[in-house]
Structure 1
Amino acid sequence: MAIIAQLSDIHIAAGRGGVVADDSGPVRALRAAVSSLLSLPARPDAVVLTGDLADGGRPAEYARLHALLSPLPMAVYPMPGNHDDRDALRAAFHDHPAVAESGVLPQAPLQYAVNVAGTRLVCCDTTLPGSPYGNMDAERLAWLETTLAADPGTPTVVATHHPPYPIGIPFLDDLRFIEPAGFADVIGRHRQVVRVISGYVHRGSVGMLAGRVSTTCPSTYRQLFLDLTSAGRAAVTGEPAGFAVHLIGADGGATTHFLPTGNFRPLMEVE
């Protein structure tokens, strides 16, 4: 069984002078998330970061992000979100072969596939530089088709930043995939895909896409208010920060857990 942890919407932010403050909210929140991962009785085989890793896409933000993640002993796989800068993210994680080889042209999509304990993790780039919207154009869909076709026998998790299914929060649904049908068609043709996991929403949700269970991940920083009635602006809540853990079996069985950040110790034995 592969254990893949998912951290999302970290939003490390530089303040005045381009410095990331040590006591800033996103920094403290990421420290808590890293501590939580390290406290799990069964540590994940890998961690995927599903976008909006930096708030302003600045090199200093990615440098701090890289340093804050350094206590993790497992592989960490970053992906861009609409707040990220592909080139700055790629430069900060240049020591990661899959990231370094994902594109050489300026602002090339940052997407790749890796093996995690017998499960394939396919990281897609749904960002449109300069836009909050998500999509995968014909070239990126062709890459996904080819990537999935190359290994039809291995259980596969496909990761995106923008969710390809409706969340129910109107303003978020307006900003998700511009044309989700093409993505759904590709997923539907490949039976080995057992999960589609996304970020962007700043809260956990579960939906369906092309017959596959699809999920979004809580933010390590702030959660969005669940407002299903209005197309209004984003509002944050006092809900705890969190992350997701995906368990993928060799037979393709998949289970997802949503966890708040904190120390995980049993309070009592239950008979």
Structure 2
Amino acid sequence: MRILHLSDTHLYGDPAARHYGRIDTTRALRGVLEHLAGLERVDLVVHTGDASEDGTVESYRLLHELLDPFAARLGAPLAVAMGNHDVPAAYAELAGPGDHDPRYQDRAITTADGVRVVVLDSSVPGAGYGHLDPAQLDWLREVLARPAARGTVLAVHHPPLVAATRMLRALDLDGLDELGEALTGSDVRVILSGHYHHEMTGDLAGIPVHVVPGITNVVDPVAAGEHERSLALSGASLLEIDETGAARPRIITSLWPNAGDTPGGDAGDVQIPVYDFGPGEVQAIIDAAGR
């Protein structure tokens, strides 16, 4: 099973808008898709949230105008999770088919080849952290009680992993024990997430977790120290999954200069951070959007 994992496009309905006053997010996504133009043999394309920055129907329409023909060329279905910047009610106007929990943008889609992707909506209105209600976990248990022919992929924007930085730890997913219990004994082969904007791997209930770098920018969690810093890069991952669960996924990740970094669409200086928040700015974000 081969999965293309994308995340954090932060698209706008207004074509003049710029992320952090700098990144043309539409050009950033177009640039990534150009890099991936030669990709073949993909079973599934998964976008793990923060598809939109402004939560408008127009931004979601733009997302599908770009990703639908790309996924169709690969012959792969597209699944999109909701993130903290998304507005599920707006996305619902364009959402594709699937078995729904009507209270959320949770969905289960089974491909023609028998691969199932289950998408959980971890967004909390007005907040940056993630949460899954007990009712969502009940729905998840009901879905997973029926094993898929080729196994299940779980997509949730907020990673079920402890974050690497102070700010992201205040914006992570709560209830990891409860989610892990719901997944124990299931046919889930991998959990895919975004949100952190940098690559990270781990496990939940013995299931591999993969966090993909962002498309609109890539966070530097190692060298930033007490700061929170991101660079003008874009990333994507290709996962090759052992459907028996006997081996860990093989993960191949690429990073490129961000194609939306200047108004003209030419790659800018990736050494100049898109943002570089000091401790005071970090605390203000935690106070405003954290748990």
**C-alpha contact (below 8 Å) 1:9/1:202 kept by paired residues:** yes
Give the TM-score, by structure 1 length: 0.82
Question: Which residue of structure 2 aligns with residue 248 of structure 1?
Answer: 241
The alignment-based identity, stated in percent, is 28
Question: Which residue of structure 1 aligns with residue 268 of structure 2?
Answer: none
Equivalenced residue count is 246
Within 5 A, what are the aligned runs for 1:101-112? 102=100, 104=102, 108-112=103-107
**C-alpha contact (below 8 Å) 1:199/1:218 kept by paired residues:** yes
Letter in 1 for 2:97: P
Within 5 A, what are the aligned runs for 1:145-184? 145-151=141-147, 154-184=150-180
Q: Deviating runs (4+, > 3 A) in structure 1?
A: 21-24, 227-232
Question: Which residue of structure 1 aligns with residue 8 of structure 2?
Answer: 9
CA-to-partner distance for each residue in 1:67-118, whole Å, 9 max, x for gaps?
222431132111110000101112123xx212xx6255xxx31111222433
Q: Determine the C-alpha separation between the residues in 2 that align with 1:64 and 1:128.
A: 23
Q: Determine the C-alpha separation between the residues in 2 that align with 1:167 and 1:54.
A: 22
**C-alpha contact (below 8 Å) 1:20/1:64 kept by paired residues:** no
Q: Determine the C-alpha separation between the residues in 2 that align with 1:63 and 1:119.
A: 26
Deviation for aligned residue 1:153:
6.0
Deviation for aligned residue 1:133:
1.3
Question: Which residue of structure 1 aligns with residue 49 of structure 2?
Answer: 51
Give the TM-score, by structure 2 length: 0.77
Q: Determine the C-alpha separation between the residues in 2 that align with 1:208 and 1:229.
A: 25
Deviation for aligned residue 1:119:
2.4
Question: Which residue of structure 1 aligns with residue 34 of structure 2?
Answer: 35
Letter in 2 for 1:124: L
Q: Determine the C-alpha separation between the residues in 1 that align with 2:162 and 2:226.
A: 14
5+ residue gaps, structure 1 = 263-271
5+ residue gaps, structure 2 = 258-291
Deviation for aligned residue 1:36:
2.7
Change in CA separation of 1:31 and 1:152 when aligned onto 2, cut-off 3 Å = closer
Aligned with 2:117 (options 105, 118, 121): 121
Q: CA RMSD in A?
A: 2.3
Question: Which residue of structure 2 aligns with residue 235 of structure 1?
Answer: 229
Letter in 2 for 1:97: P
Q: Does 1:195 align with 2:190?
A: yes
Q: Determine the C-alpha separation between the residues in 2 that align with 1:230 and 1:187.
A: 34
User: 171-180 or 223-232: which moved more?
Assistant: 223-232
**C-alpha contact (below 8 Å) 2:101/2:139 kept by paired residues:** no
Deviation for aligned residue 1:46:
2.2
